[in-house]
Amino acid sequence: MRGMRLGMRGMRLGMRGMRGMRGSRGGKMPKVLVCGDAQGNLDELFNRVATVNAKNGPFDMLLCAGEFFSSADVGGEDDDQPNYVDQDPLKEKEYVTGAKKAPLPTYFICGKGIAHLRWVEEVAKNIFFLGNHGIRELHGLRVGYLCGSYSMQASESLETMQWPLGVNNNLQGQAAPDGGKGKMGTSVVTSVAKTLRPRYHFAGSEGIFYERAPYVNSSPSDREGAVKHITRFLGIARVGNPDKKQRWLYAANITPVTEMTMEALTTRPANTTASPYESAPAPTFQAGGDLRTTGGREGGGAAPQGAYSETICHVANLPYKVNEDTLMFAFAGFGDILRVHIARDRETKRARGFGFVEFKDKEVN
């Protein structure tokens, strides 16, 4: 990594979709199915998907917002397959071996036993592992995704394993998820949602279904005349939940923003609320902790001595509104990060266009 330099423009190009995933059925509105945590319950998931697709389809793809496989290990004997040590390993393995096939192109971001897999890889017939985070163009839709609680250009859909902290703020009379019991979500997912401003945000992990009233994307830092579209947040229940109220499969028709008029993009339903994140607590960080699970950064300040060391990556062409969470998110898949830093103007606090990411080891993924 000695002297390694990356520009965010180049990264954005590198994060675009893979061959065969683009295109929206001749300009038609893409039809999408979204499920919650599957946790290896693939037979029940795909049987239900096949039924819904036959009755109400055809759908273009299935997205899994949560754990997909139920494996407990991080690798198998064969580097091309996950290791299956769950309660009924054969049910999952039948899909990987090709004995069974997913009825729709299926994309997942989380699952034990797949850490060794390459990102954007077809691990079974019609089943794709997207990686832990990124933005892809899938069947004409720009989809952002984030797995885990560590920390992306705007996307039409954001898929995260965990809920954003504060999503139940500003409900204006709407019932809170699960009766408002306990603290839900993480501040890092909140930061990503505020940055991306997706039109749809699907999340798993909490095991319940919750459809929040749409909210307006806005912040005090928005320039005058900025387009303020709405976001619809949906928490999806775990696959196989017997409670019919806890929906674990959700269907959506999502028009690509490139095919929407400005009037359609900015239309607000009657129950639209203010952004829940304007009153959400700011992200907190713990120095010396596990940065991948806290979503934080250690230290800050100027680049350390020997700024061209083998563990430091200098980043250029940063937009002035970028923050440390976004930068850390962009590099999280390359290795364990010790700290990130963005050079800022002392008076305006805006980014000066460059910074650095320091990794724990010189070998990166």
Reported as a single tens digit per residue, the pLDDT across 99-122 is 999 999 999 987 655 555 555 578
Reported as a single tens digit per residue, the pLDDT across 23-57 is 444 457 889 999 999 988 999 999 999 999 999 98
Reported as a single tens digit per residue, the pLDDT across 66-97 is 888 875 443 344 444 444 334 455 677 888 88
Neighbours of 290 (CB within 10 A): 12
Q: Return all residues near 346 (Cβ < 8 A) that are at least 6 apart.
A: none
Domains annotated for the chain, with CATH where assigned, are: 15-266 (3.60.21.10), 291-359 (3.30.70.330)
Q: Return all residues near 338 (Cβ < 8 A) that are at least 6 apart.
A: 291, 298, 311, 358, 359, 360
Q: Return all residues near 209 (Cβ < 8 A) that are at least 6 apart.
A: 36, 234, 235, 236, 237, 245, 246, 247, 248
Please state whether the predicted TM-score (pTM) of the whole model is above 0.95: no
Compute the radius of gyration of the chain from its Cα atoms: 21
- The answer, yes or no, to whether residue 201 has pLDDT greater than 90, is yes
Which helix (H) or strand (E) covers residue 122, if one does? Answer: strand 121-124
Tokens for 326, please give them.
Answer: 């976004």
Please report where in the chains the tokens 């009825």 appear, as a residue: 103
